[in-house]
């Protein structure tokens, strides 16, 4: 798979489908970006028979310190389920990798590996830290153009700060994503230690209105009365719960604004991939049912 718009880097056969990584030149980021795609066996077969056929897809956003192929390495049960369902999965990277901005590697919770899925407005971050536009516009345009992703059959999921990204992107683009779910998401970024530290740099300390544009609880209020259906799983032994994730705030925002937020508290589970592997099949089934309607 080659094009002037992207370059294939790696390919691994898995569950009769293929996980591939690619690089592209990103205008939003101002440099090269990597992304991964899992092509289920049905894609391989159907695309050969009908190159024009469109396919349903689930976007998965990783959390802090992660990268585009970590799900492939750590969550085989998810890819097995995607293979069984015939569900393509798309994995963006989590941040710019070669911006060269002073301070972007000082701490694991901000900068390289931690772009927060926003479009920055504050210098020096505004030139490169535009992960929101990268995910929702240029990468989406690329996969629809080159990989036959159906524009009307895309859903989004994420973990931790990637969960924050999925909740925000879904609520800001209700006409472009069919469904949304999250594992242990940061749900109230303007009140989370992670969010406050990042947003002060990305938007400026006093620009609260811009902070709110990327806060899942604030967006639940913006979408009041729309009866949004969102699935969340949260472990009660998560070391970042409740202080950084603020799950109860999201539950309250759903109740106060007329939404159907399903928040499952999972006894004994922590923040990591063992937790995700346990419940990923139910999330993929949830999205596949929505995408198949």
| Catalytic residue IDs | 160, 238, 271
- 203 dihedral zone (left: phi>0; alpha: psi -120 to 50; beta): alpha
**Tokens 């779910």 -> residue:** 181
Q: What's the rounded Cα separation, in Å, for the pair 206 and 24?
A: 34
228: which 2 tokens? 């949004």
Q: What's the rounded Cα separation, in Å, for the pair 185 and 181?
A: 9
DSSP state of 102: T
Q: What's the rounded Cα separation, in Å, for the pair 21 and 1?
A: 11
Q: What's the rounded Cα separation, in Å, for the pair 157 and 179?
A: 8
158 CB burial (10 A radius; 0-12, 13-18, 19+)? buried
DSSP state of 136: I
Kindly provide the residue ranges of all beta strands, DSSP E only, lying in 52-92, ordered along the sequence: 55-61, 88-92
Is residue 160 within 8 Å of 273, Cβ to Cβ? Answer: no
Closest CA to 123 of 202, 237, 13: 202
Is residue 245 within 8 Å of 184, Cβ to Cβ? Answer: yes
Q: What's the rounded Cα separation, in Å, for the pair 226 and 48?
A: 40
| Beta-strand relationship, 17-26 and 31-39 | antiparallel
Torsion angle in degrees (nearest 10) through CA of 167, 171, 176, 182? 20
């Amino acid at each position: 798979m080659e094009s002037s718009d992207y370059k294939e880097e790696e390919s691994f056969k898995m569950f009769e489908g293929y996980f591939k990584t690619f690089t592209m030149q990103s205008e939003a980021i101002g440099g090269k970006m990597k992304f991964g795609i899992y092509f289920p066996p049905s894609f391989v077969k159907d695309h050969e028979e009908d190159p024009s056929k469109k396919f349903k897809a689930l976007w998965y956003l990783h959390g802090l310190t992660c990268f585009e192929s970590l799900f492939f390495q750590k969550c085989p049960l998810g890819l097995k389920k995607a293979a069984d369902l015939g569900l393509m999965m798309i994995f963006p990277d989590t941040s710019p990798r070669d911006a060269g901005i002073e301070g972007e590697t000082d701490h694991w919770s901000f900068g390289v590996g931690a772009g927060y899925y926003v479009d920055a407005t504050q210098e020096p971050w505004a030139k490169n830290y535009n992960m929101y536009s990268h995910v929702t516009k240029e990468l989406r345009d690329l996969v629809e153009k080159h990989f036959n992703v159906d524009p009307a059959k895309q859903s989004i999921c994420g973990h931790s700060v990637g969960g924050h990204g999925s909740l925000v992107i879904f609520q800001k683009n209700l006409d472009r994503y069919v469904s949304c779910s999250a594992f242990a998401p940061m749900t109230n970024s303007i009140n989370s230690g992670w969010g406050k530290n990042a947003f002060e740099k990305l938007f400026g300390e006093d620009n609260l209105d811009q902070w709110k544009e990327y806060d899942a609880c604030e967006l639940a209020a913006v979408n009041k009365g729309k009866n949004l259906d969102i699935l969340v799983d949260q472990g009660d032994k998560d070391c970042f719960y409740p202080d950084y994730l603020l799950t109860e705030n999201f539950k309250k925002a759903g109740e106060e604004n007329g939404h159907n937020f399903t928040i499952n508290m999972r006894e004994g589970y922590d923040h990591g991939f063992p937790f995700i592997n346990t419940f990923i099949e139910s999330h993929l089934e949830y999205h596949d049912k929505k995408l198949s309607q």
